[in-house]
């Protein structure tokens, strides 16, 4: 007999120096701001996670550090390269003010099938992240809570599907750092339709 059905929690990593500087990080990294370290620790105490949960994180330092801060003593985050941020190719480390002037950027940012030079399309990211979440979901006991700590693009793609808001062009709002969203874990089943 199983207990309470498991939950799925998504947590966006804490704010970094690059976020504060309005620079597109993608697969690069930047340190978390000191206030983000404190806020992540508080979030962990609020969530009060225990051994009925499992926490997977992007292996990028900003996400993994956030995962460690929220996990508390009962859990050890599991780094996972499949949960990394979108590879923005030639746009990596571009200030947002410059992106706003680039005539090609709106299509890269919002169209599922547009792949920037050297990078991934939104559909590429969706297939990568959704496949991994479904793999994890299928291997866990029904009562286990699955927590994903990751990045805004991955977070937004999952959230759009789980809330029936997926459409092209993509316009799911960017979550503030350390935003937590919760769904029944069984909701992940709908991701199969978008791989």
Q: What is the 3-state secondary structure (H, E, C) of the chain?
A: CCCCCCEEEEEECCCEHHHHCCECCCCCCCCECHHHHHHHHHHHHHHCCCCCEEEEEECCHHHHHHHHHHHCCCCCCEEEHHHCCCCCHHHCCCEHHHHCCCCCHHHHHHCCCCCCCCCCCHHHHHHHHHHHHHHHHHHCCCCCEEEEEECHHHHHHHHHHHCCCCCCCCCCCCCCCCCEEEEEHHHHHHHHHHC
Per-residue confidence (pLDDT) for residue 51, from 0 to 100:
82
Per-residue confidence (pLDDT) for residue 186, from 0 to 100:
95
Residue 3 banded pLDDT, cuts 50, 70, 90: low
Domains delineated in the chain: 7-194 (3.40.50.1240)
**Mean pLDDT throughout 11-34?**
95
pLDDT of residue 151 exceeding 80: yes
Per-residue confidence (pLDDT) for residue 2, from 0 to 100:
53
% of the chain surpassing 70 pLDDT:
98
Per-residue confidence (pLDDT) for residue 52, from 0 to 100:
86
More confident residue, 47 or 146: 146
**Mean pLDDT throughout 89-108?**
97
**Mean pLDDT throughout 116-142?**
97
| Residues recorded for the chain | 195
Distance CA 142, CA 183 (A): 14
Per-residue confidence (pLDDT) for residue 5, from 0 to 100:
81
pLDDT of residue 29 exceeding 90: yes
Residue 1 banded pLDDT, cuts 50, 70, 90: very low
pTM here is: 0.94
Per-residue confidence (pLDDT) for residue 49, from 0 to 100:
82
């Amino acid at each position: 007999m199983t207990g309470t059905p498991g939950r799925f929690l998504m947590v966006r990593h804490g704010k970094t120096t690059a976020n504060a500087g309005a620079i597109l990080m993608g697969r690069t990294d930047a340190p978390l701001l000191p206030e983000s370290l404190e806020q992540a620790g508080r979030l962990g105490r609020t969530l009060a996670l225990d051994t009925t949960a499992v926490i997977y994180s992007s292996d990028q330092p900003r996400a993994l550090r956030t995962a460690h801060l929220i996990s508390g003593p009962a859990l050890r985050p599991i780094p996972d390269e499949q949960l990394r941020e979108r590879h923005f190719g030639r746009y990596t480390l571009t200030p947002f003010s410059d992106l706003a002037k680039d005539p090609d950027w709106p299509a890269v940012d919002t169209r599922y099938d547009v792949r920037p030079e050297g990078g991934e399309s939104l559909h590429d990211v969706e297939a990568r992240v959704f496949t991994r979440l479904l793999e994890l979901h299928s291997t866990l006991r029904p009562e286990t809570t699955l927590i994903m700590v990751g990045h805004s693009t991955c977070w937004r793609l999952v959230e759009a599907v789980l809330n029936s808001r997926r459409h092209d062009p993509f316009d799911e709002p960017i979550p503030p750092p350390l935003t937590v969203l919760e769904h029944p874990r069984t909701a992940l089943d709908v991701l199969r339709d978008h791989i």
